Structure 1
């Protein structure tokens, strides 16, 4: 399985939300990325995407995807603008079941509920205690998601 970029996984979540007529805001997308990375590392011992996740004020963030979506503010991300023309569901066949599981487990919650949830979990709490923009390590994700 190839390691993708956070942007590629983000495009999958936005496209999936579009298929279900469910809106995905930048804040919600960040939390879905965090949960998908954590669940994947716990299950496989490997990263789902290569980007770092940092502890920011409103929870875990992948800075590149934040940059790509911040113009939406609290509004839903427009799939027609965000998802590349080259996007193909078949390119995700190795992880689609896993991403659907993450969506079903966490996508049902509002962006703010997910933010609050991450604020009660050790990967963000421990990194945030050290200061803003500290990386949430793969080891911290694995330790937490193996038991949660």
Structure 2
């Protein structure tokens, strides 16, 4: 996972929860900036926020501990730039802090989460949300 590589290079490390939320943010920014997804899997609204199941299950064995591998994802230069910036700007936040930001009113997760069932968060909702963030230059939710 490129996020893990950039975290390592910046002297940071992530738990699975942090990795999930940061993957989602990178995906949203890719949709908003380049009109293309960063991940090809669906993003789901789970109880603890937006989640890409393939990423979650790959690193689930770490539990709440930090992930010690750097991963092996190769991205194009534009995607690498997004990932590097997200790690730099948000990589200091804890899993619960990132979860709080993704759960706020108006976030794509908040729009689809019904309190009990895992549902796909459509890319068009994520793209629209991150396009608004991009236009305004600030956000109250991720």
Shorter chain as normaliser: what TM range?
Answer: 0.7 to 0.9
Per-residue CA deviations over 1:44-85 (Å, capped at 9, x if unaligned) read: 221112011100010001111111111101100011xx624x
Correspondence 1:17 to 2:27:
no
Unaligned runs of 5+ in 1: 1-10
* Alignment gaps of 5+ in structure 2: 134-142
Which residue of structure 2 aligns with residue 133 of structure 1? 118
Q: Structure 1-normalised TM-score? A: 0.81
Aligned-partner Cα distance in 2 for 1:43–1:119: 22
The structure whose residues are more often helix, as a share, is: 1
Structure 1 segments of 4 or more deviating over 6 A?
none
**Length, aligned pairs only:** 132
The equivalent residue for 1:74 is 64
C-alpha distance after superposition, 1:18-64 (max 9, x if no partner): 12221111000000111001111011221112011100010001111
TM-score (norm 2): 0.84
Question: What is the CA–CA distance in structure 2 between the aligned matches of 1:17 and 1:101, rounded to whole Å?
Answer: 11
Tell me the C-alpha RMSD between the 2 structures: 1.7
